[in-house]
Amino acid sequence: MGLSRRRFTKEFKLSAVQWLEMGASLAEVARALEVNPNVLHRWRREFRQGPGNAFPGLGKRRWEEGQVAQLERKIGQQALEIDFLKGCLQRIEEQRKLQALNGSPVSTHRSKPKRTEMKA
């Protein structure tokens, strides 16, 4: 059976970073909180990059941002496809109107009449 991943609250992370900012060593805080020093280093870096935006939740924000970007790309692609298809439809309608004005047949493909031969 695999180990479950530990989740830390925003308050826990902030208190760990504050402890580091007050001058405690990384190893000391890691031992006291039973957290990997690399995790503490990442938390401190995230806090320094944007204290107000640090630790938004249970790690879901990064995934959500990626998901939003992916959906925006998909919407953009679909908008391009819709514009292309609208242009095609417009050209077809224009051709039909011209053919109706000229009196030419709507279809450009003429089918050959079937020969009915009876073998005796």
CA-wise closest residue to 24 among 12, 16, 14, 34: 16
Name the pLDDT band for 9 (thresholds 50, 70, 90): confident
| Architecture in CATH for domain 7-58 | Orthogonal Bundle (1.10)
Position 119 scores a pLDDT of 61
Give every CB contact of residue 37 below 8 A, 6+ residues apart in sequence: 26, 27, 30
Domain ranges of the chain: 7-58, 61-102
Average pLDDT, the chain: 82
pLDDT tens for each residue of 46-103: 888 877 777 776 555 555 667 788 889 999 999 999 999 999 999 999 999 999 888 8
